[in-house]
Amino acid sequence: MKFGIIRERKNPPDKRVVLSPSACLWIKEQFPEVELYVETSDIRVFKDRDYEEAGFPVTDKVSHCDILLGVKEVPVDALVPGKKYFFFSHTIKKQPYNRKLLQAVLEKNIELYDHEVITGRNGQRLVAFGRYAGIVGAYNGIRAYGLKSGLYDIPKAEMLPDRLALIEALEKTKLPDIKILLTGKGRVGSGVKEMLDGMGLKQVDCDTYLTRTFSYPVYCQIDVLEYNKRKDGTPASFQDFYENPQEYESDFMRFSRVTDLYIAGHFYGQGAPAIFTREDAVSPDFNIRVVADISCDIDGPVASTIRASTIADPVYGYDPQTGTETDFRQEGAIAVMAVDNLPCELPKDASEGFGEMFTEYVMPAFFNGDKDGILERARMTSKGHLTDRYAYLQDYVDGK
Ligand SMILES: NC(=O)c1ccc[n+]([C@@H]2O[C@H](COP(=O)([O-])OP(=O)(O)OC[C@H]3O[C@@H](n4cnc5c(N)ncnc54)[C@H](O)[C@@H]3O)[C@@H](O)[C@H]2O)c1
């Protein structure tokens, strides 16, 4: 079985890759029958020579391979007909900007496996960059707090080599006695927590966070049942929240009253209440002055996220009085960090972590007859058609 690691072709350039040289070595060790080829690239975080030195051929083309592995969307004219492809296609929510891509995948008789829908039997995603978004997002949030307050200035994450260097920079930062709130306990939330713990911040529980003052910085990590409550006052549960989100309202203002920096790392489900609205943000009870919105739903549950920001220019200002963008340094403005491709700032660690997950969870499926259905569930197209699981995308493909 021949696997090809393709060159990333999207702009702005993405340095990440599905398999690092060490992941390739690990695969070769476990599955000696695998042949791995690497398409030459001068933007990838691992250089061509890193793969060559590990014993993997680097070539101009990998179109002789059966299975092609990439990270971002492959431009239509670069898709090789008849192949099996793995990449993030960003089509499962019918994203209009990728309709042509899915149409081309079908026309070219490609079997598309989307990383986003590679799941275990329980529906849990098996390969994702979320942890790295959390790691970089936490760093960027604390950096944004320094820029907003004028108290310190630390380098951009992309200027530092890896996660440990980010933690080192944070450890050297003298944070004032602020309160940091984190929503979300999934992959992103755990990545953020890893950084806050790594820099030595003290975590406190909800009640302590809401009622006590401290002579050092603290953080509190909350989930849906803390920042939402049932409208009718009856007891809430996770299952009830996921099934009946319309029965809930936000209970976030009690946190916004005491929070200085808010890091959003939750998933936002359709129909759930806004966490804070534009009206909430003008309330005298709203004290947050820096928001690091890793979840980054535009015009979504975090009202100050009116657009995504970029790695080049990561922080903008939100004026709560007018609901419009402003200079983040302006008095009264909320500084917003809403970069939507955070893992790209840490391409080496993100690629190594992703490769480990891919090697552990996906590679065995090629050799065990896909006994756990991992490939089957992720296969979006076959023989020019959408598979049953993805048939809901037919109207999108048809341009309706
Ligand atoms: N900015 C970036 O670069 C970047 C990168 C990766 C992920 N993200 C975003 O971060 C968010 C969180 O991703 P994750 O991988 O941590 O997700 P996850 O599924 O691992 O965790 C989800 C968290 O949100 C909570 N949640 C609230 N409502 C939920 C609902 N209706 N369904 C499921 N969970 C719900 C869960 O309890 C959990 O704490 C997503 O919106 C994702 O798109 C952003």
* Predicted confidence (pLDDT) per residue in 189-218, tens digit: 999 999 999 999 999 999 999 999 999 999
User: Residues 16, 20, 23, 27: is their CA dihedral positive or negative?
Assistant: positive
Q: Which atom of ligand 1 is nearest to the CA of 224?
A: 27
Going from N- to C-terminal start, the domains of the chain cover 2-128+347-397, 130-340
pLDDT tens, residue by residue, 36-89: 999 999 999 999 999 999 999 999 999 999 999 999 999 999 999 999 999 999
Rounded to the nearest integer, the mean pLDDT of the chain is: 97
CATH fit for domain 130-340, picks 3.20.20.140, 1.10.3720.10, 3.40.50.720, 3.40.50.11540: 3.40.50.720
Q: pLDDT tens-digit profile of 349-365?
A: 999 999 999 999 999 99
Determine if ligand 1 sits within 6 Å of the CB of residue 185: yes
Q: Return the sign of the alpha-carbon dihedral for residues 203, 161, 21, 39.
A: positive
CATH for 2-128+347-397? 3.40.50.720
Q: Is the pLDDT of residue 347 over 90?
A: yes
Coil vs helix vs strand at 52: helix
Distance 188 CA to ligand 1 centre (A): 7
Q: What is the pTM of this model?
A: 0.93
**248-290 residue pLDDT tens:** 999 999 999 999 999 999 999 889 999 999 999 999 999 999 9
Query: By C-alpha distance, which of 87, 90, 35, 92 is closest to 62?
Result: 35
pLDDT of residue 274: 98
Q: pLDDT tier at 13 (50, 70, 90 boundaries)?
A: confident
Place 368 in a pLDDT band, splitting at 50, 70 and 90. Answer: very high
Kind and range of the H or E run holding 325: strand 324-326
pLDDT of residue 124: 94
How much of the chain exceeds pLDDT 70, in percent? 100
User: Is any ligand 1 atom within 6 A of the Cβ of residue 167?
Assistant: no
State if residue 224 touches ligand 1 by the CB under 6 angstroms criterion.
Answer: yes
Residue 131 CA to ligand 1 centre (angstroms): 10
Angle in degrees, 0-180, between the axes of helices 130-149 and 187-198, rounded to the nearest 10: 50
pLDDT exceeds cutoff 90 at 151 = yes
Average confidence (pLDDT) over 298-326: 97
Cα(268) to ligand 1 centroid in Å equals 7
Residue 131 confidence (pLDDT) above 90: yes
Task: Report the pLDDT value the prediction gives residue 69, as an integer from 0 to 100.
Answer: 98
Which residues belong to the active site?
Answer: 72, 90
pLDDT computed for residue 12 by the predictor: 84
Quick check: 120 pLDDT over 90? yes
pLDDT, position 11: 86
Tell me if 2-128+347-397 shares its fold with 130-340.
Answer: yes
Cβ contacts of 53 within 8 Å, gap of 6 or more? 21
- Residue 356, pLDDT score: 97
- Please indicate whether residue 239 or residue 400 has the higher confidence score (pLDDT): 239
Tell whether ipTM is more than 0.90.
Answer: yes
Q: Rounded to whole angstroms, how far apart are CA atoms 199 and 205? A: 18
